[in-house]
């Protein structure tokens, strides 16, 4: 079974000035909440799967985000598990480890951002990753902006280094990280945190992959088709996406 982990427990500073009282996952995009777009996009993966969400307790108590998520996952494979955070964590890697009892096994793990869409065949991309017998992999797009994480490649698509908020190449990481065994991620994340591999006190997913590189694991990067990655990083990005849908 494929575990799909979506950390949505962080409060975005880019949405603090948004006039809507609702949290970022409920921001409407083309008439649907962001979280609905994210779930429907990942539900296209045609395999046995379970969604795992890291949600803010306040968003669940005040806006019933957990109820919305359960309804969206109802009837799909193994449904979903929800972990509620009472206080902010120190980043996505820390948030992901809250699900250690669900992902610390030999089942494959996909960690995906909760504010993005892919206009690409995710099944074909995942089959490609598995065909290359990758221990871990990510999807990439062309960028040089320091807001993203990056991979350095050799021999085509072998990942030899990752960096957070530092463009060490033109291969920016889209928020799609695959681990053939969830236990590999858990152990690598624990080592990364023990080494304080953080950026401004925040522990991201990308640096975790460096720990797997040190173990001589096979890490691959797959480029996305141009224009197929849509991030809702800021309200401006949502506006740009909605404009792109207009005839």
User: What confidence score (pLDDT) does residue 89 get?
Assistant: 93
* pLDDT tens digits, one per residue of 50-109: 999 999 999 999 999 999 999 999 876 677 999 999 999 999 999 999 999 999 999 999
User: What confidence score (pLDDT) does residue 21 get?
Assistant: 79
Q: What is the pTM of this model?
A: 0.95
Among left, alpha and beta (phi > 0; psi -120 to 50; other), residue 23 is: beta
User: What confidence score (pLDDT) does residue 78 get?
Assistant: 75
Which one-letter DSSP state was computed for residue 217? -
The alpha carbon of residue 245 and the mean position of all alpha carbons in its chain are separated, in whole angstroms, by 24
CA angle 36, 91, 196 (to 5 degrees): 155
- The answer to whether residues 3 and 106 touch, using CB atoms and an 8 Å cutoff, is no
* CATH class assigned to 2-10+18-245: alpha beta
User: What confidence score (pLDDT) does residue 18 get?
Assistant: 59
- Which residues make Cβ contacts (< 8 Å) with residue 96, sequence separation at least 6? 5, 7, 54, 103, 111, 185, 189, 205
Which pair of tokens denotes residue 215?
């173990």
User: What confidence score (pLDDT) does residue 10 get?
Assistant: 62
Q: How far apart are CA 56 and CA 145, in angstroms?
A: 29
- The answer to whether residues 7 and 54 touch, using CB atoms and an 8 Å cutoff, is yes
Alpha carbon of 137 to those of 110, 140, 180, 232: distances in Å? 10, 10, 9, 22
Q: How far apart are CA 62 and CA 113, in angstroms?
A: 23
User: Residue holding tokens 């591999």?
Assistant: 197
- Which residues make Cβ contacts (< 8 Å) with residue 86, sequence separation at least 6? 57
Which pair of tokens denotes residue 18?
């948004």
CA angle 95, 97, 101 (to 5 degrees): 130
Weakly modelled stretches of the chain, pLDDT under 70: 10-20, 76-77
Q: How far apart are CA 19 and CA 23, in angstroms?
A: 11
- The answer to whether residues 232 and 116 touch, using CB atoms and an 8 Å cutoff, is yes
Which one-letter DSSP state was computed for residue 65? H
The domain spans of the chain are 2-10+18-245
Kindly report the number of other CB atoms within 10 A of residue 183's CB atom.
Answer: 16
Report phi then psi at 87, rounded to 5.
Answer: -150, 160
């Amino acid at each position: 079974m494929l575990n799909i982990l979506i950390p949505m427990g962080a409060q975005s500073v880019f949405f603090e000035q948004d006039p809507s009282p609702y949290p970022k996952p409920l921001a409407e995009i083309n008439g649907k909440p962001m979280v609905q777009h994210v779930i429907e996009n990942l539900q296209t993966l045609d395999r046995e799967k379970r969604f795992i969400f890291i949600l803010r307790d306040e968003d669940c108590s005040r806006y019933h985000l957990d109820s919305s998520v359960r309804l969206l996952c109802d009837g799909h494979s193994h449904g979903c598990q929800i972990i509620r955070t009472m206080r902010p964590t120190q980043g996505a890697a820390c948030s992901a480890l809250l699900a250690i009892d669900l992902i610390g096994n030999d089942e494959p793990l996909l960690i995906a951002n909760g504010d993005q869409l892919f206009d690409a065949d995710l099944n074909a991309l995942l089959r490609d990753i598995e065909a290359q017998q990758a221990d871990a992999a990510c999807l990439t797009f062309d960028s040089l902006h320091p807001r993203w994480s990056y991979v350095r490649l050799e021999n085509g698509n072998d990942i030899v280094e990752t960096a957070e908020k530092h463009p060490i190449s033109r291969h920016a990481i889209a928020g799609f990280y695959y681990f053939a065994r969830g236990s590999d991620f858990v152990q690598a994340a624990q080592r990364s945190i023990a080494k304080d591999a953080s950026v401004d006190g925040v522990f991201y997913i990308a640096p975790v992959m460096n720990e797997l590189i040190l173990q001589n694991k096979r890490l691959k990067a797959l480029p996305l088709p141009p224009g197929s990655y849509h991030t809702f990083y800021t309200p401006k990005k949502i506006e740009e996406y909605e404009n792109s849908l207009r005839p």
